[in-house]
Amino acid sequence: MASKYKRPTGTLDILPEDRAYWRFLEETIHDLMSIYGYLQIDVPVFEHTELYVRGVGEGTDIVDKEMYSFKDKGDDDLTLRPEFTAGIARAYVEHGMYKWPQPVKLYAIGPVFRYERPQAGRYRQHTQVSVEAFGEEDPALDFEILSLAHHLFDRLGFKRLYFQLNSTGCPVCRPRYIEALKAYYMEHYDEIDEDCKRRLKRNPLRVLDCKADQCQPVIAGAPKIIDYLCDDCRTHFDTLRGYLDAAGFKYVINHRLVRGLDYYTKTVFEVWAEGIGAQAAVCGGGRYDGLVEEIGGPPTPGVGFGAGWERIILAMKAQGIEPPPLPAPQVFVAHLGKEAKPKAVLLTATLRRAGIRALVAFGERSLKSQMREANRRGVRYTLILGEGELERQVVAVRDMQQGEQFDVPLDRIVEWLREHLQEQE
């Protein structure tokens, strides 16, 4: 039976068989955030388009071609959030959080939307946890953010991840660097490919992460941004590195690491995973000291990261990491005969009230068919209620693992199950 409707391009159904991964991520994140003192915030799934145009920046791919924008019936220009940071920064300003004790440390979880061609680890709707800390420029806060990301992946069970670190400078020193980079590239103009020629005009920093073979020698000889950092940025970067080194935190300085969004300053970092295809970044972030002011708030530094759940789960699978299993049904109630059926239905209700994860057979089917179902559902015990059991006021309990069966008095069954199920925890 071919289904008439299909999910839209780039969207995903998360089936029950995958849910354990999602639950694991969710619980791990909430637990960790409370340890680091981050508070959960929820912001709308859509915002005024202008917020993203200002916050993320015109000229970025996100704004130029990836936004799900629409006009609503009141003629407002709205956009499904393509990322969290701008919306959270907006909430920070709107609710006067700059009057709260600083830094204000927040995190949000939910779907984000970008109109892109899907591929491995890239979807039009994907799920992120976004972590943001506003109002503090101390590199110790950058360290905290990096540590948090590191800790998260540790907790999830990752062994093979690569932390990439760089500084992207600030409005004082970055223009100087870009000029130097452009000048260098103009000297090698005939050695680079068409894409890079275009990048040079639109977004020069991007030439650094070009993947074309012919550009690699040019990239290798390109000026490095850390040689151009102003004193402030340099001190910030060195102090952060000092913390990371002292903490024994493994990372590599990647001179080619640049971010696609305008608002990043100073610290930028990504976390890469093996085995999930070309989209290896499971986490990306950095400092964005200009963002809050850009969207109309007081000058406020900020630092944070976003991590994509679909990619993290792909990486977990690729590396053989299994989440703790979700609670499975423990008991199946089977019944035989017109009189036993209602008793079975009510018995099941009683078991559930007692906190036992119980299923009941629907319809009137052969015991064989009900047993088959019980087996498929993977329960430990099947309770069988028939005429004979009713007469004797017992229930036949079948241990599906041992293949043993015995009678338990009806008025003792809850207690019996509690005891025996607890033993197995």
Partner RNA sequence: GUGACCGUAGCUCAAUGGUGGAGCACCUGGUUGUGGCCCAGGAGGUUGGGGGUUCAAAUCCCCUCGGUCACCCCA
Q: Which of 132, 142, 144, 270 binds RNA (CB under 7 A)?
A: 270
* 188, HSE (Cβ side, Cα atoms, 13 Å): 21
- Output 105 or 335, the one with its CB closest to RNA: 335
CB nearer to RNA: pick between 22 and 98:
22
Q: Mind giving me the DSSP string for 36-71?
A: HT-EE----SEEEHHHHHHHT-TTSHIIIII-EEEE
Task: Work out whether 368 is an interface residue with RNA (CB under 7 A).
Answer: yes
Q: Which is nearer to RNA, 85 or 300 (CB)?
A: 85
How do strand 77-80 and strand 46-48 relate by DSSP bridges? antiparallel
Closest C-alpha among 334, 344, 325, 354 to residue 422: 354
User: What are phi and psi for residue 136, nearest 5 degrees?
Assistant: -150, 130
Residue 228 is encoded by which pair of tokens?
């151009």
DSSP 111-159: EEE-----BTTB-SEEEEEEEEEES---HHHHHHHHHHHHHHHHHHT--
Q: Per rule CB under 7 A, is residue 282 in the interface with RNA?
A: yes
* Residue 372 interacts with RNA (CB under 7 A): yes or no: yes
**Least distance to RNA from the beta carbon of 289, Å?**
17
How far apart CA 26 and CA 282 sit, in angstroms, is 15
SS3 assignment, position 296: coil
Q: CB under 7 A: which stretch of 179-187, 216-224, 270-278, 408-416 binds RNA?
A: 270-278
Query: How many Å separate Cα 55 from the centre of its chain?
Result: 22
Site for RNA in 101-120 (CB under 7 A): 114, 116-120
Q: Which of residues 223-252 bind RNA (CB under 7 A)?
A: none
> Would you say 209 or 232 has its CB closer to RNA?
209
* β-pair type (77-80, 68-71): antiparallel
Among 49, 69, 203, 239, binds RNA (CB under 7 A): 203
- Span 330-349, contacts to RNA by CB under 7 A: 336
Residue 31-70 contact track with RNA, rule CB under 7 A, x = bound: -----------------------------xxx---x----
Closest approach of RNA to the CB of residue 396, in Å: 4
Q: Which residues contact 393 (CB under 8 A, 6 or more apart)?
A: 409, 410, 411
DSSP 263: T
126 binds RNA (CB under 7 A): yes
Residue 303 within binding range of RNA, rule CB under 7 A: no
Residues 379-398 that bind RNA (CB under 7 A): 384, 386-389, 396, 398
According to CB under 7 A, which residues from 130 to 189 bind RNA?
none
Q: Shortest Cβ distance from residue 246 to RNA (Å)?
A: 26
Q: Which is nearer to RNA, 136 or 389 (CB)?
A: 389
Q: Does 192 bind RNA (CB under 7 A)?
A: no
Taking the least distance from each CB to RNA, the nearer of 74 and 402 is 402
> Least Å distance between CB 96 and RNA?
27
Q: Residue 325 corresponds to which tokens in the numbers above?
A: 């299993």
* 173/226 Cα distance (integer angstroms): 10
Sequence-separated (6 or more) residues with CB below 8 Å from residue 371: 334, 382, 398
By CB under 7 A, is residue 214 in contact with RNA? Answer: no
Contact criterion met (CB below 8 Å) for 4 and 87: no
